[in-house]
Amino acid sequence: MLDNDRLDIVVNSVITGLGTLKKTGVRGITILNPPLEIHPVFHYLHKKNKALIPRLESVLKKMEKTGRIRKVQEKITETLKKRTFILE
């Protein structure tokens, strides 16, 4: 709908939005910075994997504390930005 001038704004996560732009080839999009809002992301596991929760929780907390999660997000965002046609 953006490429048909039917929308003026779309609210989405940066990574999902960049992925969509890459897939659709829409050009000339501006990403707002800073974002309008920030929401935490939650991870879900099937109940059959319940035993993994303590280990997964430990690893994710360590990654958050060391800044690894942020670094991964930044790398993915920069990679997607290079492959899409956005205006900044």
Separation CA 58–CA 64 (nearest Å): 10
Q: Would you kindly state where each structural domain of the chain is located, as residue ranges? A: 2-87
Residue 83: pLDDT band by 50, 70, 90 thresholds? low
Question: 22-59, pLDDT tens digit by residue?
Answer: 888 887 778 888 888 888 878 889 999 999 999 999 99
Of the candidates 30, 36, 35, which has an alpha carbon nearest to the alpha carbon of residue 81? 30
How much is the pTM?
0.59
Q: Would you say residue 85 has pLDDT above 60?
A: no
> Tell me, what's the pLDDT at 59?
96
**Predicted local distance difference test score (pLDDT) of residue 79:** 80
